[in-house]
Amino acid sequence: MRTSSAALAAFFWSSSILARPQIPGQTLTGTAGNTTIAGSSGGPDSNGKYVIEGVGIRATFIPYGASISNLFINDTSGVERDIVTGFDNASYYGIDRQHPHFGGVPGRYANRIKNSSFVIDGKTYHVLPNENPTKAAPAGADTLHGGPDGWDWRNWTVVAHTRDSITFSLTDPDGDQGFPGEVVSYVTYSLGHMTWDFKMVALATTKKTPIMLSSHTYWNLDGFANTETATALNHSLWMPYAGQRVGTDNILIPTGDILSNQQYSLNDFWSSPKQIGANFSNPDLLGNCGFNCTGYDTCYLTDRAADGPYDWREKGPVARLRSAWSGIQVDVFTDQDAFQVYSCGGQNGSMALKSTQGLHGVEGRERTIQQYGCVVMEVEDWIDGINQPEWGRGKKQIFGPGDEPYVLQASYRFSLNGTAVGLNGPGSG
């Protein structure tokens, strides 16, 4: 009986949310569960993408992974830039063998799970591994982004689509990838006045299970068109609350240690804005993102509670990314308590740019994503918190029938900053 009540609660909760007009004065034409898409009689464009628009911003999304595929902003010269990675046609996402998680929603548990296992109420669960294979564990030593068929490998259902918003849904069955219990999830993306907002909701309907989601979007605020560099190392990053980070081993599995980011150290992005590439000449950066890796693939903790209760929409941003070349700046606000930064050290020039990006016909500039050509920013909770009970993240990462739903909210607020150098002088972006 409890299961049925939870499932019905999930249905009516999601239906009531989706049925609300998302544009003042607009009435949607249906709700979740109907065969028609709420709010729009139109479908995807010729490339299989759903278009939504705001003021000074335009984006496309696809059902595969509930992924963002394009995000268009004008730079300080008035030139439109497509500032996220992806593919030109939606059909390519499902067949690309590299699967770099372009713009998708990793789940049901984002980032890494140590030993592909966890314990809930004294019972050990084993999920499918998919990273760092060894002779002893040929399928992998850990699980990344929910496993070999995680949520960003799947086609979601479009349940609402308006001029400025789109909602996707996914039902993840009990036992899939080894996770216990059914989970029903809804993700809504919306555009406003140069803003991109999203809300991710997931409900565990039958058993206790881990849930942690994110948006795995790769950014290049120059649209890969910077005539001076093919990388994003010129981008400045500022994370004013990120005085600490999660310590990891050489395959990026958390050790349980919480490390301080000393002022002026390699991982200090809190004391002032700093170009992502500012410390790349420092030999100590080797290994900072795992074995033989130079750069960042780091979970920073965003401690905003020290000053008392706060509204995440106002207390922030947790991060600011800016390119002095394009003048495009994005401030990230979120209700999440951690922020993963990946400097794209794994890119090697084998992934093609979209036709909407890069330089065309310029000798010496390949139309591919070069190493360090992008940066991933993931709003999420403390990574692998399900295997670190001493952190006390259980209530934020383990959910069961009758519990409040898992909720992630974020707001990406764009602006134009024409300062030729960083706010703190050369080297600060």
Q: Does an H or E element contain 324, and which?
A: none
DSSP states along 118-129: EEETTEEEE---
Distance of CA 22 to the CA centre of its chain: 23
CA angle 76, 80, 82 (to 5 degrees): 115
Q: Taking a C-beta distance cutoff of 8 angstroms, is the pair 166, 152 a contact?
A: no
Q: Does an H or E element contain 6, and which?
A: helix 2-19
CA gap 346, 316 in Å, rounded: 30
Between the CA of residue 349 and those of 138, 231, 329, what are the distances in Å?
27, 11, 25
What does the DSSP 8-state code read for residue 156? P
Distance of CA 241 to the CA centre of its chain: 19
Rg (CA), the chain: 21
Q: What is the largest CA-CA distance in the chain?
A: 67
CA gap 373, 225 in Å, rounded: 11
DSSP states along 42-61: ----TTS-EEEE-BS-EEEE
CA gap 398, 283 in Å, rounded: 40
CA gap 337, 189 in Å, rounded: 20
DSSP states along 273-292: -EETTTTTT-GGGBTTTSTT
Structure tokens at 256: 């349980």
Residue with the two structure tokens 């299970």: 209
Q: Taking a C-beta distance cutoff of 8 angstroms, is the pair 277, 372 a contact?
A: yes
Give me the catalytic one of 101, 145, 161, 216: 216
CA gap 93, 66 in Å, rounded: 11
CA gap 79, 59 in Å, rounded: 16
Give me the catalytic one of 378, 380, 390, 404: 378
Structure tokens at 157: 């259902």
Catalytic residue list contains 131: no
Nearest to 291 by CA among 343, 345, 341, 335: 345
Catalytic residue list contains 216: yes
Structure tokens at 156: 């979601």
Q: Which residues are catalytic?
A: 216, 378
